[in-house]
C-alpha cells in the first residue's frame, strides 16, 4: 500500500513538473533582478549572433570566427548561470513543499 501511494505521488509530481518549472521561471522573471539580467543577456547574444540557433539545432556545418566563438562561449556561460538559478529555486521549492507536507502529517 505504501509503495502504491508513493508511486502515485511520484507520478503526480512528474505530471506537474513542467507546470511547477514554468511557475518558478515566471516568479523569477518578476522578482529576481539577476535572473532578469541574465535572460536579457541571453536574448542579446541570440540577436547579435543569429548562428547560435543553428549551433543548438545541430543541423548544419558551421565555421565560427574568433568573435563568434567568444560570443557563443558567453552565451553558454550566461545560459548556465540562469539555469543554475532556476534549478536552485526548484530545489528550494521542493524543500518548502516537503516541510509543509511533514508539518501537515504531524511529523514536524
Burial class (CB in 10 A: 0-12, 13-18, 19+), 88: exposed
Residue 107's pLDDT is 81
Q: What is the pLDDT along the chain (108 residues), one digit of tens a residue?
A: 556 666 777 787 788 888 989 999 999 999 999 999 999 999 999 999 999 999 998 877 889 999 999 999 999 999 999 999 999 999 998 888 888 877 888 888
Residue 100's pLDDT is 80
Residue 83's pLDDT is 97
Residue 70's pLDDT is 97
Among 15, 25, 6, smallest CA distance to 90 is for 25
Burial class (CB in 10 A: 0-12, 13-18, 19+), 23: middle
Amino acid at each position: 500500500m505504501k509503495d502504491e501511494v508513493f508511486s502515485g505521488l511520484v507520478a503526480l509530481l512528474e505530471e506537474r513538473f513542467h507546470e511547477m518549472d514554468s511557475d518558478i521561471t515566471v516568479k523569477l522573471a518578476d522578482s529576481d533582478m539577476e535572473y532578469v539580467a541574465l535572460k536579457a543577456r541571453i536574448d542579446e547574444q541570440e540577436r547579435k549572433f543569429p548562428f547560435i540557433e543553428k549551433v543548438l539545432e545541430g543541423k548544419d556545418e558551421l565555421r565560427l570566427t574568433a568573435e563568434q566563438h567568444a560570443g557563443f562561449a558567453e552565451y553558454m556561460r550566461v545560459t548556465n548561470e540562469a539555469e543554475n538559478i532556476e534549478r536552485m529555486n526548484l530545489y528550494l521549492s521542493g524543500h518548502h513543499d516537503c516541510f509543509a507536507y511533514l508539518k501537515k502529517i504531524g511529523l514536524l
